[in-house]
Structure 1
Amino acid sequence: MSESDERGMLRAPAEVKYADELDYLESVDDGPKPFAWRLSPKMVRTFILGSERADGLDREIPQKWFGDRTFVERSIVTLASDRGLLLIGDPGTGKSWLAELLAAAVCRNSTLVVQGTAGTTEDHIKYSWNVSMVIAKGQSRESMIPSPIMTAMETGVIGRFEELTRSTSDVQDALISILSEKYVSIPELDDDNIVFAKPGFSIIATANSRDRGVNDLSSALKRRFNFVRIPVVTNKKSEAEIVRFRTTELLRRHRIELEVPPTLLDILLQSFADLRAASAAATSDDERLESALSTAEQIGVLEDAILHSRFFGDDTLRATTLASSLVGSLARRTPEDLAILNKFWHGVVEGRGKKEGGEWKDFLEGGRDAIATLS
């Protein structure tokens, strides 16, 4: 797909966004491929984690997911087996992004997705019916509407299930037979009433570790998945790389030419680190922000500040704007979160402003004004 085609999408899936890279890797890939995979496991890893000099490629493949390579390698090995893959971790740790990249690299299709919610039903992971066709011609394979999971089974590719623990137990139970038996029965039909999974079919599910107790997985379903726990990124260098990567994509998507000063990125990273430390030291939930303070939320704060600077400023990102975006994004409960942020601003940011001066001083003033406005 051309760049002009990609621009016609609000958000292009990974297999479209990185189609040129995937075509190149496929053309030079001579490694063994499980099933009908488009890339070998080594090339899947290269696509996700980026190329190294030892790979011997004549073009650079940039890193797209930032984390320990063992998580990626274990995920790839799981998909090469007959077990499902469950990526579990706190919000904003990149689980869904890793799942999308894996599906794009393995089968060039990351869009066969079921979103788990309280309203997700068994039909969403198996099949439903086209009512008008059923009335006109009766139930048949033609009048059946396959779910994304069933489509993945029929075509031998990867299906994705987002927020698995958000769905009810009967929906989760329906996955057990799919993962173990690798087929779906259609009792409404007399003939052609079984859909068998083709080689290459697998499921990548994600689960939020903070949703424990919402709809816990049964032991039977747990046995069908290999668990890969994705930790919160606490390394400042790695987190900076993630934020820079996502910010570059944002600027490219919106065609914005705006520089993110390194000093402001450092302020953002340090502020989140200080807020996490304060949250860890809190003795009750009333003393903690409702926000998970994840890397994804940092990116959201920076995106908000960039767009505000672009549309309501002078195309220059300033510390005051960044502070206002941070307060506005994290103050979700009123007055609880505002009180926490106000205490943080006076106890931590004010000290850094007096010690560091410069941008920290402007960040201090911008936050104070934002808190006063929302109070």
Structure 2
Amino acid sequence: MATAETVILRQPAEIKYQEEIAYLESKDTSAKPFTWRLSPKMVRTFVLGSMPSDKLDRQIPQKWFGDPSFVERAIVTLASDRGLLLIGDPGTGKSWLAELLSAAICGNSTYVVQGTAGTTEDQIKYSWNVAMVIAQGQSRQSIIPSPMMTAMQRGAMGRFEELTRCTSDVQDALISILSEKYISIPELKSDNVVFAQPGFNIIATANSRDRGVNDLSSALKRRFNFVQIPIVTNKKSEKEIIEFRVKDLLARHSFSAEIPPTLLDILIQTFADLREASDAASSDDQRLESALSTAEQIGVLEDAILHSNFFGQSKIEARILARSLVGTLVRRLPEDISVLNKFWHGVIEKRSQEDKGDWTEFSEGGKDAMKTLEK
């Protein structure tokens, strides 16, 4: 396992916040389910930040922004016999919440199965070391455990990303794991069952836009508690999320950047207007393919800041922000250009005429970016 001193591109939450988790553990006097590292109350504090009522001698910053009831229900579910399924649009922070919960509960968020159309049952349960099987035959030593099996053996949280991207027969491999809490190995005559240790559970995520791709069976649905994660539309919350995540991402480049409040307001307002236009559209052809989530805004702002630092004057400008927004949101050519062009002339131009200032530069930058893509 890596440590905080190890140089890696992206530190998982348990490494990045290991000092904070250790501090909370030292102050934790509440009862802990199973082998949890922190009690449910402290897990909540780690994810949502501390309050004066917690009576801690240091501030714990908020790391996930959303309705606290979602986090509380998720924590309660993970202490129960059922798995947790986080459902929401892309970019709503499902995976980030799953990572934070795993880090706080068991100190490891890396037991992850990534669901795709090509995911197989072996990737959920186990596979075989072919060379060892040929040399010595099938045995427990020649098994290659999946991340899920490893989590079972260690009494940790197993994570399953994008569950509905997997085919139904692969999804159903989780039924016995969730209900019986063991994996059978029929190829072995003895020592052929791997039992889950206390503390094991599963946190799965599903994209609400993938509903109908591979629906969960009723048997599997019964073994999960569902927590719906909505898109954040409150501007104050969006601003907090964007500032927190962008500063976090920029730390990888070893520089910080001041985000002009006026430009952040322009970005948030533009996305709010885009969502409104998308809701009013009568068909998918009149909507952008992008989910228009907070994660998209983070990507736009990070792109603009990096562009400004690498190729500009180190100061983010409205024109560059507009170019980054267009470049991020246009995915289908020419459909998205048509949708965005109509929106730009109907909404952004109007705001630039009324509010002027940075809105004018933002409007012109977006038009230039779209003209470039149309060539």
Interval of TM-score (by shorter of Structure 1 and Structure 2): over 0.9
Alignment TM-score, normalising by the size of structure 2: 0.98
The CA deviation at 1:75 is 0.3
Q: Conserved in 1, the CA contact under 8 Å of 2:113 and 2:123?
A: yes
Q: Conserved in 1, the CA contact under 8 Å of 2:247 and 2:257?
A: no
The CA distance in 1 between the partners of 2:33 and 2:251, in whole Å, is 35
What letter is aligned with 2:343? F
* Structure 1 residue aligned with 2:8: 9
What letter is aligned with 2:309? R
The CA deviation at 1:258 is 2.0
The CA distance in 1 between the partners of 2:5 and 2:125, in whole Å, is 35
The alignment status of 1:93 with 2:108, answered yes or no, reads no
The CA distance in 1 between the partners of 2:328 and 2:252, in whole Å, is 22
The CA distance in 2 between the partners of 1:227 and 1:291, in whole Å, is 24
- The 3-state SS of whatever aligns with 1:291 is coil
* Structure 1 residue aligned with 2:194: 195
* Structure 2 residue aligned with 1:312: 311
Equivalences for 1:195-274 in 2 at 5 Å? 195-274=194-273
Equivalences for 1:147-226 in 2 at 5 Å? 147-226=146-225
The CA distance in 2 between the partners of 1:219 and 1:343, in whole Å, is 43
Q: Conserved in 1, the CA contact under 8 Å of 2:319 and 2:364?
A: yes
The CA distance in 2 between the partners of 1:199 and 1:257, in whole Å, is 43
- The 3-state SS of whatever aligns with 1:187 is coil
The CA distance in 2 between the partners of 1:315 and 1:132, in whole Å, is 55
The CA distance in 2 between the partners of 1:224 and 1:234, in whole Å, is 31
The CA deviation at 1:190 is 1.2
Flag structure 1 segments of 5+ consecutive residues without an equivalent.
none
Alignment TM-score, normalising by the size of structure 1: 0.98
The CA distance in 1 between the partners of 2:254 and 2:362, in whole Å, is 27
Could you tell which deviates more after superposition, 250-259 or 114-123?
250-259
The CA distance in 2 between the partners of 1:9 and 1:308, in whole Å, is 23
Flag structure 2 segments of 5+ consecutive residues without an equivalent.
none
* Structure 1 residue aligned with 2:106: 107
The CA distance in 1 between the partners of 2:33 and 2:206, in whole Å, is 26
What letter is aligned with 2:356? G
Q: Conserved in 2, the CA contact under 8 Å of 1:95 and 1:206?
A: yes
What letter is aligned with 1:54? S
The CA distance in 1 between the partners of 2:226 and 2:124, in whole Å, is 21
* Aligned residues with identical type, % of pairs: 74
What letter is aligned with 1:207? A
The CA distance in 2 between the partners of 1:332 and 1:80, in whole Å, is 41
Q: Conserved in 1, the CA contact under 8 Å of 2:74 and 2:227?
A: yes
What letter is aligned with 2:270? S
**What do you get for the CA RMSD once the two structures are aligned?**
0.8
The CA deviation at 1:306 is 1.0
The CA distance in 1 between the partners of 2:255 and 2:352, in whole Å, is 30
Deviations 1:317-350 (A, max 9, x none): 0000000000011111111110111111111111
What letter is aligned with 2:363? L
The CA deviation at 1:3 is 4.7
* Structure 1 residue aligned with 2:118: 119
Deviations 1:161-183 (A, max 9, x none): 00000001111111001100111
The CA distance in 2 between the partners of 1:370 and 1:108, in whole Å, is 45
- The 3-state SS of whatever aligns with 2:164 is helix
The CA deviation at 1:251 is 2.0
Q: Conserved in 2, the CA contact under 8 Å of 1:256 and 1:310?
A: no
* Structure 2 residue aligned with 1:343: 342
The CA deviation at 1:201 is 0.5
* Structure 1 residue aligned with 2:75: 76
The CA distance in 2 between the partners of 1:238 and 1:320, in whole Å, is 25
Size of the aligned set, in residue pairs, is 373
The CA distance in 2 between the partners of 1:12 and 1:266, in whole Å, is 30
The alignment status of 1:358 with 2:357, answered yes or no, reads yes
The CA distance in 1 between the partners of 2:100 and 2:365, in whole Å, is 38
The CA distance in 1 between the partners of 2:259 and 2:342, in whole Å, is 28
